[in-house]
Structure 1
């Protein structure tokens, strides 16, 4: 089962909305409205297996030298097959194309990110993140996500 990663298009918005909503309902990803997804579609990549979108991820620019991996998710039945790592590789490629030297994520899946070359850091080193997404998060005062970082050289 070969997964192919590509930039997301407007045709992917509905699928992205459903995939992200499944994670948001479990409280492990912030929801994204269809309007937001349409507006930010150029920041998303998707993974396809036999023409079906089974995973997604996006990059959010937090400054001139930092991007965040967001909305990284895989459909049920496709987890554990290396698709998440392919998506991360594609997002790293996109960050390098933009000459951004640092890529971070807030995650509950620390071992996955470590396997992909990230290391744990103190999330307070990312004031840019705190003022973009965290300000609107219901877990703001009791965030239990772990910050991970990778330097891109």
Structure 2
């Protein structure tokens, strides 16, 4: 899928792992995203989409299934030099298409970028409506009792 001139969005491949790790780690160091090990990225690579320009990975995002009818947008990030160009929305569109193709009706995220998700059709909801997320990830998070991320949800048709 083509976005702007020369920017392509596609499924991640083996050669993307190091760039995925570096981009996610840059967000994790700021406390904005959970870190991912290279090993976990390799195991979950088929769940990732990337944005690439001139063979350079500039953005990524993934899906993580939390239940029969719920999938989470994870690790959605854009290289800071490319923010504001619609790349995040294109990646999110691909993730939505993937969720629909799997027959999953609900797409959620925990985020600090509420306006971005609202612009893309998500609604703010209480985190407690996602017990699947709470017991899968939040139970292990150091911010578990003082989480400042906002939960958003999009119902897919």
Q: Deviations over 1:84-118 (max 9, x none)?
A: 00000000000011010000000000000000000
Alignment: residue pair count: 153
Distance 2:54 2:29 in 1: 27
Give matches, 1:1-153, under 5 Å: 1-2=4-5, 3-153=7-157
Please report how far the alpha carbon of residue 146 of structure 1 lies from its aligned counterpart in structure 2 after TM superposition: 0.3
Q: TM-score, normalised by structure 2?
A: 0.95
Distance 2:14 2:134 in 1: 29
Distance 1:83 1:145 in 2: 22
Distance 2:15 2:55 in 1: 13
Q: Runs of 4+ in structure 1 displaced over 6 angstroms?
A: none
Q: Which runs of 5+ in 1 are unaligned?
A: none
Higher mean displacement: 103-112 or 41-50: 41-50
Q: Secondary structure at the match of 1:77?
A: helix
Please report how far the alpha carbon of residue 50 of structure 1 lies from its aligned counterpart in structure 2 after TM superposition: 2.5
Distance 1:39 1:65 in 2: 22
Q: TM-score, normalised by structure 1?
A: 0.98
Distance 1:132 1:36 in 2: 15
Higher mean displacement: 44-53 or 88-97: 44-53
